[in-house]
Structures are given as C-alpha cells and as structure tokens.
Amino acid sequence: MQSGKAAMQAALALGRPARVPCAPHWWGSYKYEALGLDVRLAPWQDGAALAPVYAGFYERFRPDWLHLHIGTPRYFRDAEVSEPEGLGGDAVLRIDPHFRGLKKLDRYFASESGADERIVDFPDYLLGSRAERPRVDLGSRRSVEEYARRYLAMEAALIRELGYADHVVALAARFGQEALIAVHLPSTVCELFDPITGWAGFERGLIALREQPEGMRRLLELGYELQLEWARAYAQAGAHAFVISESYISPDIAGPRVYPDFLKGIHREYFAEIARMGLAPILDFWGDALPLLEDFAQIGAAALMVEESKKTFTLDIREIRERLDGRICLFGNLDSLGLLREGSPEEVRAEVRRQAEGAGGGFVVANGSPLALGTPEANVRALSEAAQGLPARSRADEAGGKR
C-alpha cells in the first residue's frame, strides 16, 4: 500500500496517487479528548511532552498526515496552571523560575514578560502579556517598522531555541518516512485582525484598509516576511509542508477587493519562498472562497483548503474542483459538526465517496474545520478508512471502466 507521505506528495504535486489520500483537520482540541486527556490542562506542556499526543492520535486513526499546530515553548515545561480565584477570575500559568529568562525572549505567546501570567484563553494559549500588547500605529512607515521590530520579529534560530519546533523534530524522526509532516499557523492577517490580541484589532483593522492603506500594506509585507522565519524553523526541524489560515478578509466579511488588492501579490512571493525552503505551501482559507478561486490558482500555493458550507455561502467541493480544473491541489470539506459529530459512519463514508468521485489526482479527502469535541471515534475512523480505500480515478477513468 502506498504510504501516506507518498500519496500526499503526489496529490500536492498534482500527480495521480495510487489511492486517495486523507488529511483530517485535527490540529485542535479533539486530539486530547480522543486520548482521554483534559482538554484544558493537557496542552500546557512543552513540545517534547506534546509530541506523544500527536503520535497517539496518528497511531489510533492512521491519517496520511500529521497536522501540527505552531508548537509550544520550552518554558511551558514544569509550568503549573492554577485554578481561577473567585467567580469570573482567570487561571494563572506559573512558570518554573529556571525558564523565566527564556520566556522574556518570546514575542508570540508572551510579550516582553518573564513572569507568571493570567490565562486569557485556554484553547489558544492566550496569556495576559500578549493580550495587553499595544496596538500598532499605522500612521507612518517608520512607526509600523518599529512596531514589527519590537513586538513581532523572531529569527528561526530563536524560534527553535524557544522550543516551538521541538514537536516537529520528534515526530519527523518517528513518522517522517510514512506520513506528511505539516505545520499549521495563523497567518499575518489572523494576527493583525484578531479581536483580542490583534496588532490592529478587527474593526480598526477593517477601517484601516480604507483609511490607512499604506500603513496596512507595509504591516502586511513585514508580517509575512517575518513569518517566513517560522517556516524556516520548521523546515530545519524536518517538516514537509507549511499551512497558513487566512481569516477575517474573505469577500463575505471584508469585501471582494481586499484579497486581490492587498494580499495576492504578497502571497505569491511568500509561497514561492516557502517552496524554495523545500516545504509544500498550503492555504487554508476561511469564509466564502468562491469569488477568489482564480486568484488562488495564481499564487503558487500547492494546495487550497476551504471550510464547509455555512453562514451565507455554499462551498460544494466538486463545483470548486471543476472551476480550479487541476491547477491547484484541493482538500475536501466534510462538515465537521453536522456530519462528523452528529452523523453516522455510513453517512461519513457516503460523503467521502461523493466528494472523491471523479477527483483523479490533486485531491485530498478532509473535513472543512477542526474535528469538534464530542465527535465519535467511529466517524473519524470512517473518514480515513473510506478515503484510503478509494483509488484515485477521474471521471474519464470511471467511464472507460464501464465501457
């Protein structure tokens, strides 16, 4: 049987794998629940301690990739999570004194702080110092560049020193010959527009696209340039693919011109540089992707991930595949809530077959958003097993087989 890594690499290269690869969206909290761990406490460990969690999920369900999150810093090692004091209080992350100096170097989970910190959000590892970081001044090129230098810039060597790639090193050594090792980060746009920790914030960021466009362009350029250091760190650690989530700027939220006017050119250069590092660049686009499909086919990404139909739009994966016409590898978008969490294994298998029918090469079975807490294990198994039992056959192949 073709290995998961070989099947994924063939699909990403728009070739014809021996079977349809399956890459579930599993970088969220479900991996802890599936292994019987406390989803609030288990993530607050360093990368070396989290690698067995990923390994346990992979060995239980045997997908074709390891879908890894950004990683965790070494100063999480031996840290303790205290319970909140009083109604509405925050839990506190208490740092081992040995790691306080290292923590002060971090500009991602923490911001210029070597101290214990309140936990603002458990699933996103959100610490108080990051939530309290000042917002960027978009009024001048100089102020934008100073903000990026002080609050955002970290070279690949520091990222690795902090431990953010430790889980990749361990998992690539163990599974790198059999499965695709992919690391998935929130993009510069996500970091800029996040309502709590965003460099500009959501409403202010959207307004700035119109009122301070030059400041926004410079911040976007610098943000993606600096994020290449993260890709470089993961490439050095043994990853095969680099995935970014793009949120907040879909046509249904920000309007149809924001992506082509502000991001398309940046993405083209960004993904080209990631490919030069030896990583497959993958775009995970949240929101209505339909008006931008032609743009996505022109930016040099190896693959496109889209969410399931929701809100005000319908994303039928077979329609999207026809419109892209084999110009970019496409991931499927099975419904993680209505189908995988609430449906039956038989319904999951049927939807896998429907989405994969006629796909040929350049298609990967997947769900449209992270596996949700409470999803039956039988449905996750059905997702992988149904996909991996299908040959990669196009409609022409199937028609020929019927003659």
For every residue of 36-78, DSSP letters joined together read T--TTTTTSS-HHHHHHHHHHHHHHH--SEEEE-S---GGGTT
One digit per residue, pLDDT tens: the chain, 403 residues? 799 999 999 999 999 899 999 999 998 999 999 999 999 999 999 999 999 999 999 999 999 999 999 999 999 999 999 987 766 678 999 999 999 999 999 999 999 899 999 999 888 899 999 999 999 999 999 999 999 999 999 999 999 999 999 999 999 999 999 999 999 999 999 999 999 999 999 999 999 999 999 999 999 999 999 999 999 999 999 999 999 999 999 999 999 999 999 999 999 999 999 999 999 999 999 999 999 999 999 999 999 999 999 878 999 999 999 999 999 999 999 999 999 999 999 999 999 999 999 888 899 999 999 999 999 999 999 999 998 777 766 544 544 444 3
Domain ranges of the chain: 4-76+137-402
- Residue range 4-76+137-402, CATH number: 3.20.20.210
At residue 398, the pLDDT reads 47
Q: Give exposure, 17-41, as e/b (b: 16+ Cβ within 10 Å).
A: bebbbbbbbbbbbbbbbbeeeeeee
Bridging pattern class, strands 117-121 and 126-127: antiparallel
How far apart (Å, rounded) are the C-alpha atoms in residues 254 and 247? 10
What is d(CA 372, CA 30) in angstroms, rounded to the nearest whole number?
Answer: 6
Confidence (pLDDT) at 401: 45
Q: d(Cα 258, Cα 191) in Å, to the nearest integer?
A: 17
pLDDT computed for residue 297 by the predictor: 98
